[in-house]
């Protein structure tokens, strides 16, 4: 039987005072260990290297070294070199063996990654903050002193077979859209090594490509959860040579490429020339992209309020559509992307094309689009990996960094008139189209 005797008042008072003292001590301790907020720092070194950092006091530091070494800088003789560099990341360097790199990364609690695109090649490292110095030594050697040992490259060819086996038709359609848009130069180069170059890019070819692209003036080093001065000293110790390298010239041309596979599903991508990174039309086209629709915003949703979703629903065909907005340093692509049943793809394509080319925006449309763009920007900043890559690309391609808060403020300034002007420029340019699947019922570009 539980006792119903009340606690004496003296003990009660002592208890309350004790709890109050503990709470006050906890509050005082919290105030002592509150870390100050720091703004991003950007420094351009005399060599041309851009260093950007954000000290967020995270227990895990994230560092990335980026070079202008994407596929747009390849020539006919070394197509696929950037893809090879990405897959060779972590293999032996001139100073460290493959085993030593792997073992060191494991011992310091790190993770080494590599990403490549049409304009950049990124070497990234996530490491426990206390082991940052050791991690920077490995990252610097991997990024600036690759060895391309023939026996390691030969073993690495199996990775290409795996990547190509997992390649889906939508990725192929986007690659063909770039080839149609920019043809055989610059941005028209695929981010994947062509079949006829697998196993034929020798160590000398890759070394020459590194020598022409991995240069101080073409490099950016960025970090999250790292001291800015530490990052600058890391750059100075890399020993990356000076020079300009290839310009990667590319011009928008427009055209059409069809790939017949006989599949039951057909994928079509249509685009005109869009906006470059940092241009006056970039923010307006970002809003227009979300007005048209970028896919479901909720799980199992259909984004029924978007323009493209309504157009597909009214077409009588079976499929889905999403808008395309890709920005590069000097140009871009803006349009739409559809996946439809091959028997009714022409209906979905016709309805989607009319919806995009005749789009008239209202104040309500722009307000909704701006909210979605800002949500996308701010949610992406919650991911350390995405935040690091965004910071790196901005530093590499523009020489500065715009924080998510500042980017959201720029979106707020977009007006309906600005959106219509940007869309008019896109519709007035030559169009490009790529088709993968059963192409028998897909109209040609000049028939749209």
What pLDDT, in 10s, does the model give residues 171-197? 999 999 999 999 888 899 999 999 888
Q: Which residues of 74-104 are buried (b: 16+ CB within 10 A; e: fewer)?
A: beeebbbbbbbbbbbbbbbbeebeeeebeeb
Is there a contact between 287 and 272 (Cβ–Cβ < 8 Å)?
no
Tokens of 433: 């189209």
Among left, alpha and beta (phi > 0; psi -120 to 50; other), residue 299 is beta
What pLDDT, in 10s, does the model give residues 198-243? 888 899 999 999 999 999 999 999 999 999 998 998 888 888 888 8
User: How far is residue 90's CA from residue 146's CA, in Å, rounded to a whole number?
Assistant: 9
Question: Which of 218, 29, 248, 231 has its CA nearest to residue 136?
Answer: 231
Pinpoint the residues of the chain covered by CATH 3.30.830.10.
41-238, 255-447
| The CATH fold of domain 41-238 | Cytochrome Bc1 Complex; Chain A, domain 1 (3.30.830)
Q: Which residues of 250-263 are buried (b: 16+ CB within 10 A; e: fewer)?
A: bebebbbbeeebee
- CA angle, corner 72, sides to 67 and 78, nearest 5? 95
Assigned CATH for 255-447: 3.30.830.10
User: How far is residue 446's CA from residue 430's CA, in Å, rounded to a whole number?
Assistant: 10
Task: Read off the pLDDT of each residue in 385-414 and give the average, rounded to a whole number.
Answer: 93
Q: What pLDDT is stored for residue 198 in this prediction?
A: 83
Say whether pLDDT at 14 is over 50: no
Tokens of 2: 């539980």
Q: Which CA distances in Å does 171 have to 57, 167, 168, 274, 441?
A: 37, 7, 6, 19, 21
Tokens of 344: 């009714």
Is there a contact between 437 and 342 (Cβ–Cβ < 8 Å)?
yes
Name the pairing type of β-strands 265-273 and 219-224.
Answer: unpaired
Higher pLDDT, 180 or 306: 180
**202 φ, ψ to 5°?**
-75, 175
Say whether pLDDT at 18 is over 80: no
Task: Read off the pLDDT of each residue in 270-281 and give the average, rounded to a whole number.
Answer: 92
Question: Which of 331, 335, 338 has its CA nearest to residue 182?
Answer: 331
- Cβ neighbour number for residue 379 with a 10 Å cutoff: 11
Hey, which residues does 216 pair with through a beta bridge?
none
Task: Read off the pLDDT of each residue in 337-364 and give the average, rounded to a whole number.
Answer: 93
| Tokens 């011009």, located at residue | 251
Q: Among 18-32, 108-122, 367-381, 398-412, which stretch is predicted with the lowest mean pLDDT?
A: 18-32
The three-class DSSP label of residue 142 is helix
- CA angle, corner 319, sides to 318 and 320, nearest 5? 150
What pLDDT, in 10s, does the model give residues 89-133? 999 999 999 999 999 999 999 999 999 999 999 999 999 999 999
């Amino acid at each position: 039987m539980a006792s119903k005797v009340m606690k004496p008042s003296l003990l009660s008072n002592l208890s309350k005072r004790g709890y109050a003292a503990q709470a006050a001590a906890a509050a005082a301790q919290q105030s002592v260990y509150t870390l100050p907020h720091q703004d991003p720092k950007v420094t351009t070194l005399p060599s041309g290297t851009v260093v950007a950092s954000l000290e967020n006091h995270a227990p895990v530091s994230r560092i990335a070294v980026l070079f202008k070494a994407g596929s747009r800088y390849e020539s006919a003789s070394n197509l696929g070199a950037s893809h090879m560099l990405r897959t060779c990341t972590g293999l032996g360097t001139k100073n460290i063996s493959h085993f030593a790199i792997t073992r060191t990364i494991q011992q310091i609690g790190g993770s080494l990654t590599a990403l490549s695109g049409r304009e950049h090649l990124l070497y990234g490292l996530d490491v426990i903050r206390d082991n940052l110095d050791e991690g920077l030594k490995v990252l610097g050697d991997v990024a600036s002193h690759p060895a391309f040992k023939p026996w390691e490259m030969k073993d690495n060819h199996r990775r290409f077979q795996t990547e190509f086996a997992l390649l889906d038709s939508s990725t192929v359609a986007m690659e063909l859209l770039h080839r149609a848009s920019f043809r055989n130069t610059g941005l028209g180069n695929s981010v994947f090594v062509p079949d006829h170059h697998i196993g034929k890019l020798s160590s000398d070819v890759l070394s020459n490509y590194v020598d022409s692209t991995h240069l101080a003036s073409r490099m950016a080093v960025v970090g999250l959860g790292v001291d800015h001065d530490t990052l600058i000293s890391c750059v100075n110790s890399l020993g990356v040579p000076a020079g300009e390298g290839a310009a990667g010239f590319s011009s928008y041309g427009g055209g059409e490429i069809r790939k017949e596979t006989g599949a039951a599903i057909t994928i079509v991508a249509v685009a005109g020339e869009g906006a470059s990174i940092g241009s006056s039309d970039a923010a307006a086209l970002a809003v227009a992209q979300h007005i048209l629709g970028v896919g479901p915003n909720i799980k199992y949703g259909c984004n029924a309020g978007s323009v493209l979703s309504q157009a597909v629903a009214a077409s009588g065909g079976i499929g889905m559509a999403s808008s395309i907005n890709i920005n590069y340093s000097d140009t871009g692509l803006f349009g739409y992307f559809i996946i439809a049943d091959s028997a009714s793809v022409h209906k979905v394509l016709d309805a989607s094309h009319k919806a995009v080319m005749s789009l008239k925006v209202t104040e309500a449309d722009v307000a909704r689009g701006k909210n979605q763009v800002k949500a996308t920007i701010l949610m992406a900043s919650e991911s350390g990996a995405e935040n690091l890559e965004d910071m790196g690309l901005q530093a590499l391609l523009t020489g500065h960094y715009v924080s998510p808060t500042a980017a959201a403020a720029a979106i707020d300034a977009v007006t309906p008139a600005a959106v219509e002007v940007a869309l008019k420029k896109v519709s007035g340019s030559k169009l490009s189209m790529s088709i993968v699947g059963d192409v028998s019922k897909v109209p040609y570009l000049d028939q749209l």
